């Protein structure tokens, strides 16, 4: 844990703003996912389920992978990038499918 604190502590102001912006994006994306899931449960609207799952895959999984990348030395940048890319593609396809469903 001290290594993470050192990494975040040594950031410039611009970098700190980017990190905070990324964290805010993840929080907003997961909030949208939760609201979409509530819409699915309340109205039994399957498109909302796909939109919610898509947002989790686009924003939640990459944030989790980034955290794991900082904590697990065995996770290489290539592996983290590959998992992130696949997750984002599946998430965007899920959102698109949810928006195009009847």
Residue 29 lies inside a defined structural domain of this protein: yes
Residue 69 lies inside a defined structural domain of this protein: yes
For 69-87, the pLDDT digits (tens) are: 878 888 899 999 999 999 9
* Cβ-Cβ contacts under 8 Å for 45 (sequence gap 6 or more): 39
* Domain count across the chain: 1
* Confidence at 15, pLDDT banded by 50, 70, 90: confident
Residue 5 lies inside a defined structural domain of this protein: no
- 79-83 long-range Cβ contacts below 8 angstroms, 24+ apart: none
Residue 93 lies inside a defined structural domain of this protein: yes
Q: Domain of 83?
A: 23-100
Residue 14 lies inside a defined structural domain of this protein: no
Residue 80 lies inside a defined structural domain of this protein: yes
Residue 12 lies inside a defined structural domain of this protein: no
Name the pTM for this structure. Answer: 0.78
């Amino acid at each position: 844990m001290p290594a993470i604190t050192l990494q975040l502590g040594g950031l410039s102001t611009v970098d700190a703003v980017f990190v905070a912006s990324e964290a805010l994006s993840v929080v907003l994306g997961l909030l949208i996912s939760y609201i979409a899931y509530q819409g699915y449960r309340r109205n039994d609207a399957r498109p909302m389920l796909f939109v919610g799952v898509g947002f989790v895959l686009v924003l939640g999984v990459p944030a989790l992978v980034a955290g794991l990348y900082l904590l697990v030395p065995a996770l290489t940048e290539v592996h983290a990038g590959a998992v992130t890319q696949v997750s984002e593609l599946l998430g965007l396809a899920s959102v698109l499918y949810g928006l195009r469903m009847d």
